[in-house]
Structure 1
């Protein structure tokens, strides 16, 4: 595992866009196959005499569409994180991990250098918290809604629908999906922005997004069908 991690790091440093795109393709494929597996074996409608259920096979074209979208938008994710790093810089990515000495029984026993070091660490912590908060607000308010809109509209077009179908899918699925994402994405992205180096941020988020990709795949297919039935 360590060997693969070192190999991935070298490739990401040399070819960031290609490496991240390949990683996103693998993770999105796993996410869609997981969603299809859950839909096939878990979320199965009860069989009745009037509506017999035929076993469903895996829709590889559906997985291919999902992989194509993830691969195409991965460079946008890389550039977005670079923009956030440049626009809201953090002086030290490891500011949260700096060790703290135990306080003495009396403040008079502390040297001037120790007091200055503690004040500097507190200042770094506050600065890091502010910058992480700004990155998180921008990500939640701008990047995520645009990505959801791009995902649902792209799926509609790749499935053979037209512009009206893309507009309909975005209008029906965007808001509930965005609200559902707010339950988990701020936590994951706060960790991502505060602790993870820039080169690993997109793959780190994608590892957590493996299950979220499964949810998106389910929303784009099964939930849309449920809404249209109603």
Structure 2
């Protein structure tokens, strides 16, 4: 069997090629799907690591669906347009463009986005408005501070070195661990 034939048969390489093609042809829906998968996988892993006493350790599929829906409807599309517009407002080549993008992301974009994310997930989990607001009051500041600590360097790398069309993908790769952390923290801070 020739080397080129073996390369064509590699399922990982085929999947990556197909993904990159979709990313080029249908960027928003591709990023939305990727965000949904990563968010739901992070939620499932967090439920396995720290079982929820309210579900007697069973997976809460409603919670997983809430994270998937938020990733699909909110995170994927919002981040796609955020990164595209960030390039328009702070074009590469201008003085301190990367620093300005990171500061805009960290100080202007991130605080309301985290609020939106926490609210949407809580409502989709069936918490209702009042319970969602209580939950946000209990977790928001802690999660925002942790986000600033953890994601600032990641966002600098993402904004400075990763091409725009791959930034959501890069963020999703790193956010699997972050999703586990957020799911776990939301549950542990509100169940104590």
The question of a shared fold, defined as TM-score above 0.5 by the shorter chain, is answered with yes
1:53-92 aligned at under 5 Å gives the runs: 56-73=57-74, 74-91=76-93
- Paired residues in the alignment total 180
Return 5+ residue gaps in structure 1 as ranges. 46-53, 92-123
Could you tell me how far 1:155 is from its partner in structure 2? 2.5
Q: Give the alignment's TM-score, normalised by structure 1.
A: 0.73
Could you tell me how far 1:82 is from its partner in structure 2? 0.6
Paired position in structure 2 for 1:18: 29
Q: Segments of 4+ in structure 1 off by > 3 A?
A: none
Paired position in structure 2 for 1:180: 146
For residues 111-138 of structure 1, the C-alpha deviation after alignment (integer angstroms, 9 at most, x for no partner) is: xxxxxxxxxxxxx8xx4xx111101011
- Hey, what's the Cα distance between the residues in 1 that align with 2:119 and 2:56? 29
Could you tell me how far 1:180 is from its partner in structure 2? 0.9
Which is higher, the Rg of structure 1 or of structure 2?
1
For residues 81-128 of structure 1, the C-alpha deviation after alignment (integer angstroms, 9 at most, x for no partner) is: 01111111114xxxxxxxxxxxxxxxxxxxxxxxxxxxxxxxx8xx4x
Q: Give the alignment's TM-score, normalised by structure 2.
A: 0.86
- Hey, what's the Cα distance between the residues in 2 that align with 1:5 and 1:176? 36
State the secondary structure of the residue aligned to 2:16.
helix
Q: Return the structure number with greater helix share.
A: 2
What is the CA RMSD across the aligned residues, in angstroms? Answer: 2.1
State the secondary structure of the residue aligned to 2:58.
coil
1:112-131 aligned at under 5 Å gives the runs: 127=95, 130-131=96-97
- Picking from 219, 222, 230, the partner of 2:185 is 219
For residues 132-173 of structure 1, the C-alpha deviation after alignment (integer angstroms, 9 at most, x for no partner) is: 110101111122111211122122322333322222222221
State the secondary structure of the residue aligned to 2:57.
coil
- Hey, what's the Cα distance between the residues in 2 that align with 1:37 and 1:191? 30
- Hey, what's the Cα distance between the residues in 2 that align with 1:160 and 1:3? 39
Paired position in structure 2 for 1:4: 15
